[in-house]
Structure 1
Amino acid sequence: MKIFLPYGLLLLAGLLLFAPAGKIWSQTNGAVHMEAMALLNQPESKAKVDSIIAFTMRNRKNNLMDTLFTAGFELVKKLDYQAAEPRLLDAYGVYNRDFSKYALALANHKDSRAQAHKLGDITTEIHATNNIGVVYRRLDENGKALTYHMEALRLAEKVGDDYSASVSLNSIGNIHIVLGNYKDAILYFRKSLPIAQKANNMLGMAMNYNNIGEAYEYMGKLDSADKYYKESLYYNEKINNHKGIAISYNSIGNVLKKQTRISEAIALFEKAKRITDTLGDGLYRANNYNNLGNAYLLQKQYDKAKAMFFDALLIARDIGTMTEIKSAYEGLMKLNERTSHLDSALLYSKLFKQYSDSIVAESNNRHVRQMEAIYDTEKEKARIAFLEANREKDSVLRKNDRIFLFGALILFLLILTSGILYYLRYRLLERNKRLSQELEIRSQIASDLHDDMGSTLSSIHIFSELLRKSGTNKEELLTKIEANAKDTLDALDDIIWLVKPSNDKFSNLCQHIREYAIPMFQSKGIRFVIDFPDSVSEMPLPMDTRRNIFLIVKETVNNLVKYSRCTEASIIARNEDAQISFAIKDNGIGFDPDKLTDRNGIKNIKSRAGKINADIKIVTACGEGTLVEFWVAKDKPVYEKSTPVAPGMRNQK
């Protein structure tokens, strides 16, 4: 809806175009304040609500915004102006997002989307859907963000909304940048840019130029990056977009920093900081502070670098952006390494690794590819359906004597095409289902790698540094390095065993349990019995079932050796009708389960049993030993041997 402002306000806006650059910010705020006051003084009407929505979308930082939104919502309710509520909610969500109130922004956009869909307001539904994706991107939840941006793109292309399609394409490109797919990102930005140029949308052009520059920067093509960053700055300055100007300063500064022109980079970062400090957008402030911290670090201005990293961390934690938290921890890790504070360096190294798992990023990449495949398939289906519909319309124009024959042919083609599409969609859904299951397992493996190996590798690095610098305690440090290296090798061995396809039989699981348990029992002089049934040795076991059975046994044996003080122990499996039972027993001191429910990994053991739907029972008492017994259902037919066999291998000491 077009809003006609009083002539005086238009004249003031025109004068601002020729005002000195240093005065534009304050004068613009004054004009905005005057316009806001004029809106509040308008008579109550639907036109006033529309004017408030248009104003708040153009001016998101004025201190009268809360008052305007309150007035807008009150008028919507008073006038029963339901058609305006989705638009007002969406504008309010953008306002809250700009102040890093992400939970509130999500709620606003989702309410807007639901109401717009109910009212048939497709334009607002698309805008709200894209805005939900933007909030999720700021929260580093790229999988969810992609889902909403893809949905917005489908709707925008369906109704011919070029502006929203451009926003969606730009956002999907940003997700590819986060995942390291820089060439794919550039393809999306180049699809979005002509749409923005056609509509003379300078903000969209500025965003696309900056994003293309960012992709080239990460690819190491600094000259190309600098060219596109400066194009973005040109358009941001042309429309007086302060946030965009600050982003451009930061981007050009990063190129200068990589060209070792550190002083010039710091000057631009400081100019950006003066703007971002006034905007109230925590994400861009945290990014700006991290950029300054890294530049100061290169100049060995360690106190300034430390202050910037801590400020960035404080802001990033407050708004919940993992990317900037990770960057701050990385900066603090490098700072403490360079200042020889190795204990602090180790601490920040562990925190940094918690936010940067390359395998999880690869899993997100797989999700992106799946979503794009579904989008491309549905787009092709729509194209085929469109062609078939046109073909059916054309058939009406045929001669009467061929109508029946041609109509029958069209019907046959439609049925055939529908059958093929149904089959292809079924295949695609089944494939995505398998990929989702694989993604879940790989994500768990990634988590295990991170938990088991991340901290130990960091410890090895720090202990090695301490060993290099230390004149004493070398034996103790070497012992710690050796222990950490052994833990890492053991964890890696478990992962390799798990993912190797040839290890999918019950007999391989039994062998892996023996290889773990026997050295553990022997290290404490415990007499032991290990007995597994040969009758199901060829039975295949899914990866997650093998993994959780082994981890339950491993956790139980580990606790048995550490705490039970036993002299005898046994691990026995039995082939029963529809299930396999496992029993781990010792004659140790036992414990009171009512008082120590969290001890010895009981919760962890029960949790793993639940993941494979296994029944589990723990029988123990003080002084009476412990029995851990669980039953795993057979998912597939058991491969019994045709002739009787001797009992399973028994190992005794």
Structure 2
Amino acid sequence: MRDNIYPYSMLLKSLPFIVILYLALVGGVTAQDSVLVYKTLDSLRAMKDDTSKVDLLAKRGRTFNRYFDGRNAENVFYKDAINLGENIRDYRHLAEIYNEIGTSKRNRSLYILAADYHEKALANAKLAKNDRLISFSYNNLGVDYRRLDKLDKAFDAHFSALRIAEKINDVRNICVATNSIGNIHLSNKKYEEAIRDFAKALQLEQDAGNELGVAINLGNIGYAYQGLGKLDLSIEFFKRSLEANQKINSTTGISICYTCLGAVYQDKKDYNTAKSYMLKALAVNGEVDDQIHVADNYLSIGKLFDEQGVQDSARLYYQQAIDLGRRWGFKSTLLDAYKGMAHSLRESKQYERSLAYMDSLIVYNDSIQTEKNELVASQSETRYNVSRKDAEIKTLHQAQDNEKLRVKRNLAVAISLGVILLMLIVGGFFYIRHRNLEANRQALQLELRSLRAQMNPHFIFNSLSSIHRYIWSNNQEEASEYLTKFSKLMRMILDNSQHTFIPLNKELESLKLYLDLEVLRCNNMFEYHILLGDNINDEEVMIPPMIIQPYVENAIWHGLVHRKLKGLLEISIRLKGRVLECIVTDNGIGRKMAMEIKEKKNKTHNSMGMKVTEGRIALIRKINNTKDANVEITDLEDAKGQPEGTKVTIVLPAEFLF
């Protein structure tokens, strides 16, 4: 079994090859004059409200769809048609309109919205009791789930479409569903079963004289033979598919065939031919809107250079694939891109960076493997228990009520946590104040411990806000990854908070984990380096816990996140005699510009973490009766006097384990 999965297979894993071209609805001629659009709308609005008006609004919506897409505006014809259709309960037209809107969203890579509209289309098709529309809506929904890597749901949707289409002898939807199920078999490397499904779909398309369907299924059979290691047969079918796509001038199909031919020639170690085809695909992809083609193309070229040992070029293309994968949520693409990047870095002896990418790979691999296991069970259950699902209609209102209940419950939990945190802070404050009356030095020690304890809820609040943001924006994968690292950091902070001083290596370990969280939270908008002096034994040198983190946080959120380019954060720790010097340097926008941004946003909040840490350092200075405990902030400027960032120097009395 091969380690690498080429772009064509990635495409087959994340969306059905056939429905890229089958189900994409071509919009009408783009309107050149806004007056024409709204004059047409006004004339339709003057008509009597009935089914014919809904039909005309839907047709004009298709005609002017590109006009509204080009302006990133809502299609008012569709909006009026939906409102009227709901009022008169015209479920058939509602299903057709929702299908068109969903497909339009999918063609712009808005897959979550596409699934939402196609679910509405399916609900209305069922209310209309229109089997053709039900089958078509199921197929559309299956495409969306494939794009979202929800393979178990995709299989259920396409299998339901196939059952209904066969019942009414709807050849078009039979072909779409059969091809899509074949693609799922490809994802599970069941190549013989995939060839059987594709051959059936190919015969139907040939009988119907559908050149597009013929081109698609020829390409799918080519990939299945590639999976079986029959490379010459694979090349034959890909070339036949390319010829068919060129005949009908299908840009997307031509791009896919070029990519697949490049992959097969790479398998044959014919690198020059492989590179030639991949570059042809990249050139064609400039004309394709769906970004998954571009991402997979970058990935395939990266693998080609990697296999040839040209690591710098390989990483360049891997990074472009990763950037697109993160932007659009292509988990399968990210899985291979992370794996390729880790391998390339390891080959270049950059082991630390390679391990970082391997960590990301593990997270995505676990997610996809779990989904594959669930898919096997889902297929078995569907094949041997076809009658398990009733034709029972689930209303959208019930789903909405459940969602509102979930949101209210989560809000109640969040408020409760906030109240508990507030009570802990207030209770801790009064408890420490009471103890401070006993003795001066003991009071200072207790106050220092109180300030250190306040850092924990402060950091927890900020991190919970990030987790809340991920969940609210439906970024479940990112929220899960963030929460895993966050829980590990919380355990470290809770352990460290039991001590006034901890070894420097433990403080640096928690600081690195915190920075990894911030890099994830900020979408890799900056990188960091931690430099340790040669004369420091980080197991023996002691440091107050969480003493550096607030200044690092301040550098990130008031300096680095406002940069247009990727920022750099450097933390340097040096030992000078019995003084420990910690320097936090960033190349952000500087304090002056940060203050201007803050004033423009009318923000009056001051950093709690900074205030608490300044208080802690002041108490350390009093307890040790020394001046060797202070913080100095320096604004950095270039030769022309322009801000170049900020440097924070934290000086502490050196403490040693022995």
TM-score by length of 2: 0.49
> Which is bigger in relative contact order (C-alpha 8 A, separation at least 6)?
2
Rg comparison, structure with higher value: 1
